[in-house]
């Protein structure tokens, strides 16, 4: 009972911090940077879609997708294995599609402005994580979703790799988002040095609070994923079934 209370407290904290981060990054791009608002005209207003969509997709949706099995198990909902996998897949596929639009927004902005692409560590880490996420999605669909390819032994290895690599990709996305916010704070906040030391500009307060919310969201999601007592019973049974089948073969 105590474990379940802790679990749901962590889930609630994750949702609050995650949604707050989404609101703050929307506020930053929509009202507080040097060219606020959203438009698909190639200006900074086009770029403003990038952080918003990436945070919605690769932070909030990916994080919730990662703990979906655990939430279903903890709530005691009687759903089929296929339904649980479908819920997980909808979260992760939606994240990839939304993030693709966010990535296109960046390249469109750079092209319109005549800027070079991929010049910042944020870009390198981000595009690597994006590529790995796409590969993770494809491999998960082929081997672990409905059309199952490969032997039981191979699928057992893929399941183990899928779980561990998913956590790594999530951490990479958090790091990329923090680097991206640092870059955006430099370029998109108008001369913070002009403000007196005792008065931070609102954009700085919002961007820094966003980063703290991001870290809190990451900490709660990681705590849920790494605590074995929160593991979904059905996923454990699936793993044992795959391992047992592979040993028999």
Residue pLDDT, tens place only, 110-164: 999 998 889 889 999 999 999 999 999 999 998 888 666 777 888 888 999 999 9
Average pLDDT over residues 43-57: 96
With bands split at pLDDT 50, 70 and 90, how would you rate the model's confidence at 198?
Answer: low
Q: Which of 24, 31, 60, 8 is closest to 212 using CA atoms?
A: 24
- More confidently predicted of 240 and 78: 78
Asked whether residue 243 carries a pLDDT value surpassing 60, the answer given is no
Q: How confident is the model at residue 232 (pLDDT cuts 50, 70, 90)?
A: confident
Residue 176 to residue 122: CA distance in whole angstroms: 5
**Predicted local distance difference test score (pLDDT) of residue 192:** 59
Angstrom CA distances, 177 to 2, 115, 143, 229, stand at 34, 21, 30, 29
First to last CA, the chain: 39
Lowest mean pLDDT among 86-90, 166-170, 199-203: 199-203
Task: Give backbone dihedrals phi and psi of 80, rounded to 5 degrees, phi first.
Answer: -70, 160
Query: Is residue 3 over pLDDT 60?
Result: yes
Cα–Cα nearest to 97, from 139, 143, 46, 134: 134
At 218, which helix (H) or strand (E)?
A: helix 202-226
At the topology level, CATH places domain 2-248 in 1.20.120
User: So what's the pLDDT on residue 240?
Assistant: 39
pLDDT more than 70, % of the chain: 88
| pLDDT value, residue 12 | 97
Average per-residue pLDDT in the chain?
87
Q: What is the pLDDT of residue 236?
A: 47
Give the span between the Cα atoms of 228 and 67, in whole angstroms. Answer: 13
Q: How sure is the predictor about 247, in pLDDT bands with cuts at 50, 70 and 90?
A: very low
Please classify residue 233 by burial: count the beta carbons closer than 10 Å to its beta carbon, then call 0-12 exposed, 13-18 middle and 19+ buried: exposed
């Amino acid at each position: 009972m105590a474990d379940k209370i802790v679990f749901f407290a962590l889930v609630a904290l994750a949702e609050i911090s995650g949604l707050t981060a989404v609101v703050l990054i929307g506020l930053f791009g929509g009202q507080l940077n040097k060219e606020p608002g959203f438009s698909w005209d190639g200006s900074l207003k086009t770029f403003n879609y990038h952080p918003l969509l990436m945070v919605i997709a690769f932070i909030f949706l990916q994080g919730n997708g990662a703990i979906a099995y655990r939430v279903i198990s903890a709530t005691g909902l009687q759903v089929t294995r296929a339904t649980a996998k479908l819920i997980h897949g909808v979260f992760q596929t939606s994240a990839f599609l939304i993030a693709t639009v966010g990535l296109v927004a960046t390249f469109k902005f750079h092209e319109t402005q005549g800027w070079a692409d991929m010049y910042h560590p944020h870009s390198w880490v981000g595009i690597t994580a994006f590529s790995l996420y796409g590969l993770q999605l494809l491999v998960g669909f082929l081997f672990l979703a409905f059309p199952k390819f490969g032997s039981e032994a191979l699928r057992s290895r893929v399941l183990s790799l899928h779980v561990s690599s998913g956590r790594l990709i999530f951490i990479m996305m958090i790091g990329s988002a923090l680097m991206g916010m640092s870059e955006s704070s430099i370029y998109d906040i108008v001369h913070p040095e002009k403000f007196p030391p005792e008065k931070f500009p609102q954009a700085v307060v919002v961007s820094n609070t966003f980063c703290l919310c991001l870290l809190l969201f990451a900490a709660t999601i990681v705590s849920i994923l790494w605590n074995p007592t929160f593991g979904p019973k059905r996923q454990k049974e699936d793993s044992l079934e795959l391992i047992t089948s592979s040993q028999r073969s």
